[in-house]
Amino acid sequence: MVNLSVNIGKLRLSSPVLVGSGTFGCGEEFRDLIDLGKLGAIITKTVTLAPNSGNPMPRTAETPYGMLNSIGLENEGADGFIKHKIPFLSNVSTRIIVSIGGESVKEFKKLTEIFDRQRAIDAIELNISCPNIKGRTRLIAQDPRATYRVVNTVRRQTKKTIIAKLSPNVTDITEIAKASQEAGIDALSLINTVYGMSVDLDMRTPHLARVYGGLSGPAIKPIALYMVYQVARQTKLPIIGMGGIMNAQDALEFILTGATAIALGTANFVNPKASIETVQGIKQYLIKHKIKNIKNLIGSLKI
Known catalytic residues are 130
Task: Please give the Cα distance from 70 to 152 (Å, whole number).
Answer: 29
C-beta neighbour count of 270 within 10 angstroms: 12
Cα separation, 123 vs 54, in Å, equals: 25
**Amino acid letter at 265?**
G
Instruction: Say if residues 139 and 169 touch (Cβ distance below 8 Å).
Output: yes
Phi, psi at 125, each rounded to 5°: -100, 125
Phi first, then psi, for residue 188 (nearest 5°) are -125, 145
Question: Rounded to an integer, what distance in angstroms lies between the CA atom of residue 267 and that of residue 192?
Answer: 15
Give the number of other Cβ atoms within 10 Å of residue 29's Cβ: 11
The helix/strand/coil state of 247 is coil
